[in-house]
Amino acid sequence: MANECNNRNESCIRPDDPRYKELKAYIDSVRDQQGINIMVLQEAQRLFGYVPLEVQKWISLELDDVSVGELYGISTFYSQFNLTKQGKHKISVCLGTACYVKGAQAIVEALQQHLDIEVGGISEDEMFSLEATRCLGCCSLAPVMMIDDDVYAKLYDTKQIPEILDKYYLESELEHEMESEVDA
């Protein structure tokens, strides 16, 4: 699965991808409810990690009376949806007011510099994608960033950032080693 796509600007989900089956089962379970477009896109994103146009086309064929245009309109309107592939780990820096006044912008800049990455982008090695998010609701721990589900609080000192990221590189190296050991 990890190597299914080498081009990070294009999606490469095969039409026979087993996740389509899961998505179909979900659609069937909510089909009789009203207003399910957003719910279906949310489920698709949960399964695939993002909702590229080809998945949207598939959904449009699956749902009656919903055009790709409508789905595309929804997926580009709401900030939750990603149309391009995401990094292995998602970094979200909170730019809510409480974090901003306590220096969250410096965290974003440090990450950009360290990973050579734009906000909304994905790093060359596909390890991280960087997002600036709305308030995460942990204002008393400001400034805050999240990597996947882990919260890193009170990041006054941006020098901690390389150290935090190293943890994920190390984890990934260990995984690789384990895999190659298994292969051997």
Partner 1 sequence: MAKAKAKMTLDTLKSIQADVLAQQEKENNIRILVGMGTCGISAGAREVMAALEAELAEKSDVENVQIIPCGCAGMCTYEPIVEVVEPGKKRVTYVHVTPEKASEIMYKHIFGGDPVVKYTINGEFKTLNEQNFYQKQKRVVLKNCGEINPEDINEYISRDGYQGLAKAVLELKPEDVIEIMKDSGLRGRGGGGFPTGVKWSFAAPNKADQKYIICNADEGDPGAFMDRSVLEGDPHAILEAMAIGGYAIGASKGFIYVRAEYPVAVQRLQTAIHQARELGLLGDNILGSKFSFDIDIRLGAGAFVCGEETALIASIEGKRGMSRNKPPFPAKEGLWGKPTCINNVETLANIPQIILNGADWFRGFGTDKSPGTKVFALGGKINQTGLVEVPMGITLREVIYDIGEGIPDGKAFKAVQTGGPSGGCITEENLEIPIDFDNLVAIGSMMGSGGMIVMDEDNCMVDIARFFLDFTVDESCGKCVPCREGTKRLHEVLDRITEGEGEPEDLQRLEDLAENIKATSLCGLGQTAPNPVLSTLKHFHDEYEAHVTEKKCPALVCKPLLTFEIKDDCRGCTLCSRMCPVRAITGETKQVHVIDQEKCTKCGTCLTVCKFGSIIKY
Q: Which residues bind partner 1 (CB under 8 A)?
A: 34-39, 41-42, 70, 73-74, 77-81, 95-98, 100-102, 133-142, 144, 151, 153
Our CB check for partner 1 shows the closer of 125 and 150 to be 150
Supply the angle between the helices 37-48 and 68-77 in degrees, to the nearest 10. 70
Nearest approach, Cβ of residue 64 and partner 1 (Å): 13
- Closest contact distance (angstroms) between CB of 166 and partner 1 is 20
Residue 87 or 143 with smaller CB distance to partner 1: 143
- Can you say whether the dihedral through the CA atoms of 114, 132, 120, 58 is positive or negative? positive
Structural contact between residues 146 and 92, judged by C-beta atoms closer than 8 angstroms: yes
Q: Which residues contact 102 (CB under 8 A, 6 or more apart)?
A: 142, 143, 156
Nearer Cβ to partner 1, position 14 or 113?
113
Element (H, E) at 174: helix 160-183
Shortest CB 36 distance to partner 1, Å = 6
Q: Pick between residue 29 and residue 97 the one whose CB is nearest to partner 1.
A: 97
Smallest separation, CB 92 to partner 1 (Å): 9
Radius of gyration of the chain (CA): 19
